[in-house]
A and B are shown apart, each in its own frame.
Chain A
């Protein structure tokens, strides 16, 4: 009996959260050369012949020695300019395009070696695809479109419609089962495309510029939706885009492609902070850093802290030593209590009192480390103190000055002065 088991794949979550993440898909030395005689040109490409040289011989290099691994349950983004070979690469993964050389290994199985029958089976069960222009079947209504993958697997009409309805429900399109694709807006059509891809319950979802044809607002909705769905189902997703903002938003890791070559693979922050070459740098230049850079990445270690049991004199000395006019107070577990100023502390000493808890100002803004700079900015409006980064137990991790936020926005590195 066939049924959906989206919520039972918890093992993949563990694998994802842990350090030794399971590799779901591995690409090794993958080449795709278009033209009349690719295998003759391959050695030239391997020797590093230039693009022009290859072109002179009537061939085009689509993918040039791609190597990467995709972990189970992650969203792996491939980005690059138009013509960089993204579509070619992703189509090699399910062999809609036949690679010229190299290996594609999914769950330990080499896809490049599969015969017609096994390949068909692989496409039906393991991998499905969402297309830039939706590619819905115009002669079928929505439910028949969503059920298409199951229909060609030979499921009975009751079974496949049941699953199709569940899929449509998941993408928020219940009630449109009988509509024709042409009656729906672009965003809705792509939801159908997504539902169709989910209906076969594949391990891996390939999305080739799936949101590129949509209006910016709808596109943003779809990105959010994808992230929500991904959080629920933890499918491995390979997502292509030429938009860095989109890549940073949905991607766990990003691969950047240029002229068929993968020039860098890394997390959003790695790519932004350490672009491996000018091409990547150029990409990252016009990204809205405010949305991407996190509090944790710009916070600094506090120069001094005082413990709540410390007296006012200790506090004053610490502030003087570090030439600061206020200092954060934490308890024995480094949990944040508040802040005191040097003036208040001196006044306290004048009246012969010691307990700094009397003068503590608890009105300190705290955030967790994964908050983006964009969301940090408003916090500074109501606070004259630095913002404190805390973990889930309110333990103090670091502090952020207004100036660091600005520096982060400008992409300047001032974290180690």
Chain B
């Protein structure tokens, strides 16, 4: 039987990135994916003939540019196209729009509040600085503040220096971002409610928090990070959907010699004398390897693939405490034609950007209130894009696909999720859109409703949390996924973690996968 240098469990984009980097370093690598296709939460599937759905994730901004360069992804088909605008329909029939052109956006904001138009520029500059300040941390293995090891102390010192170098004003802004709610943070800048609502929405993505919950300002920043890499618009759309990102990485990995096996779910990691030696597949096959890497979330990685007696009890307790609390759903639609929003009637360039259903802070906060007590939002926050407007190949000519990211849909719904509840959730989404775009419902040809439970069932992401663990302050950096184990190694020798549940966290970023590969190679890489 062939013995691999490394086996990577999970063919999501992070697992693929790890595999590609290891293979690039001349390791023999096998990726084992449970589903018939790679991609995990970054997949494009033709659910209805001719209509390609970006099933889960739908936009890209965080993907590390060094990965694109190192793996030469454009050669493997990656092409990220800009999303040009964000339009927020308001309850009074007006709208707020942010366009690609700065002057145009400024003029639009000026219409709502002259002062906010100016504050917007200043705010943008600050966030740019802040993202710049935090970015090095994304590419850094988090030092452990509890350790007295020279490496950790040096790391802490370096981190301390880095932050002090920011200077007072930015350091304070960083503390605010780390601790405040996005609503409070934005209150310090703006007076226009709909502007605050739309901005704050990016602070709630993937969390079980509302815009007024402290901790959401950090997520705001997390989503700003993509703006740094010289891209004009932060968010882009991958040609062929986010599945094409995974395919490109897979193709790169294969080109370096990695083997990728689909329909090959792993049931256990084999551990002998405290050291990982291979895996057992769901079909019973055993495969052996020098090292094993899991790109699954921490709960699956440690509580499912391993027996608890193989791990320290304290660590198991920490992993059990790790919060998932999935809160997002997805509705994917096949449309006969594009809907016209009454705030900006007709079909036009606005359809090449996003529509944000976040008409007021109270609206978004009330959506959260529903979820807090175990119901899906009756009028949810939604982020809508029309992938076929950016990449016409996503739907048959003249027809369209519509991707609706929805919050909140709590994983722990009162009474549990059922087929009927799923459809009721779908109805709430569609009816809310209809209220901003009358006539929209009549254009729907097919509908796919995805609840957090569906996300969990299909991708394996526990409780359907899109980031493989909430991006809460106490689950970041050296605490992700557990104190003392934030450096991609695990208590089991030869067993590594590489998924979004590790530092720096979720989104199609690839950073976890890359940092894990670096760590593995530093450790000798199984061979």
A and B are partners in one complex rather than unrelated chains = no
Which residues on B are within 8 Å of A, measured CB to CB?
Answer: none
